[in-house]
Amino acid sequence: MQYLPETKTLYVRHSVTLNDGNKTIADFFNGVVDFIDNNDVAKLVMDVRTNGGGNNNLNKPIITGIIKSRKINQKGKFFCIIGRRTFSACQNLVNELEKNTEVIFVGEPTSENVNFYGDTRTETLPNSKLQANLSWLWWQNMDPRDKRKATSPALAVEMSFADFYNNVDPVMNVINNYTNQAPVDEKIKTLFGQGKFDEAVAIGVEYVKDPLHRYFRADLEDKINGYGYNLVNENKFADANRIFAVNVQIFPESANAYDSYGESFMLLGKKEDAIKYYEMAIAKDKEGVTADNSRKMIEKIKAGNN
């Protein structure tokens, strides 16, 4: 670990999930927490982008230490750098950090599903006698319905060879310049509640265009859509129609956004508008699930069953 006094950051590189003789991970991270408690530390950065795994049983003291450190376990104060070499036991560490701490992931997606097969054993092929190492043990410490192929960073940053050659770490630059703000979906909801629809759209469009957020664009769309359906469930159909309109403007290529917008017009009894936007959803999706739903809804409207 290294303390960076100019930014009051404690940088910790964790490159393998194994003890080094009598130097244990538990002792090391106890030292990390002690340093945080006894020094002027504003941010903790844990770098696991080159950690290819090791022993899952050694992850616990890392997690518990960070959970206990109230000084640093806050949004905007704890960052974990992940990347294309974050794998195996370290994927499980990342999973536990996601579930149990206020971490912000930065960098590139990990190289493994969040639930995955691991722990290799050697099999000898019967004819060629070639040996193959195969993963056989199922690790599932995330929701069984979680089908993500990787953990994606909230702040996406790639390192180029030019960065490496010039001894520049763009990931640390992003972390050093990070300022803690309200989530963008909360900003949009606040502006929407104030009737500032154009400003809500502008903030959403700016967020989507920023390459830092490229892995969380769909997440924003889903959150706005979910907010719209919460309004539908409260029978606030006009308000739902307006928030779905905001989503369409932020995500003009999304079939699902148009499908939801069409449904809100149907609920308002505006059949022609509903058909119009359902048809736009079909045009965006053509043969997908969303298009199938839009076709069914158009048939219901034309049959007078809405």
Q: Is the distance from CB of 83 to CB of 110 less than 8 angstroms?
A: yes
**So where are the chain's domains?**
2-113+141-176, 184-303
Q: pLDDT at position 63, please?
A: 96
Q: pLDDT at position 55, please?
A: 94
Residue predicted with more confidence, 16 or 286: 16
Q: pLDDT at position 305, please?
A: 58
Q: pLDDT at position 159, please?
A: 87
User: DSSP alpha helices (H): ranges in 39-76?
Assistant: 60-68
Contact residues for 167 (Cβ-Cβ < 8 A; gap 6+): none
Tokens 């006894």 belong to: 38
Domain 2-113+141-176 fold is 2-enoyl-CoA Hydratase; Chain A, domain 1 (3.90.226)
pLDDT digits (tens, 9 = 90+) for 51-98: 999 999 999 999 999 999 999 999 999 999 999 999 999 999 999 999
pLDDT digits (tens, 9 = 90+) for 255-292: 999 999 999 999 999 999 999 999 999 999 988 999 99
This prediction's pTM: 0.87
Q: pLDDT at position 136, please?
A: 92
Which tokens go with 106?
A: 């930065």
Q: Is the distance from CB of 260 to CB of 297 less than 8 angstroms?
A: no
**What's the alpha-carbon Rg for the chain, to the nearest Å?**
24
Q: pLDDT at position 303, please?
A: 87
- CATH ID of 184-303, from 3.90.1570.10, 3.30.1280.10, 1.25.40.10, 2.60.40.10: 1.25.40.10
pLDDT digits (tens, 9 = 90+) for 235-260: 999 999 999 999 999 999 999 999 99
Q: pLDDT at position 181, please?
A: 87
| Helices and strands: H and E segment counts in the chain | 12, 8
pLDDT digits (tens, 9 = 90+) for 172-222: 999 999 998 889 999 999 999 999 999 999 999 999 999 999 999 999 999
Over 90: is that where the pLDDT of 123 sits? Answer: yes
Over 90: is that where the pLDDT of 295 sits? Answer: yes
Compute the distance between CA of residue 258 and CA of residue 274 in angstroms, rounded to an integer. Answer: 10
Q: Packing angle between helix 255-267 and helix 289-303, nearest 10 degrees?
A: 20
First to last CA, the chain: 63
Q: How confident is the model at residue 163 (pLDDT cuts 50, 70, 90)?
A: very high
pLDDT digits (tens, 9 = 90+) for 40-52: 999 999 999 999 9
Over 70: is that where the pLDDT of 306 sits? Answer: no
Q: pLDDT at position 304, please?
A: 81
Ranges of beta strands (E only) in 154-288 are 155-156
> Closest Cα partner for 43 from 64, 66, 14, 22?
66
Across the chain, mean pLDDT equals 95
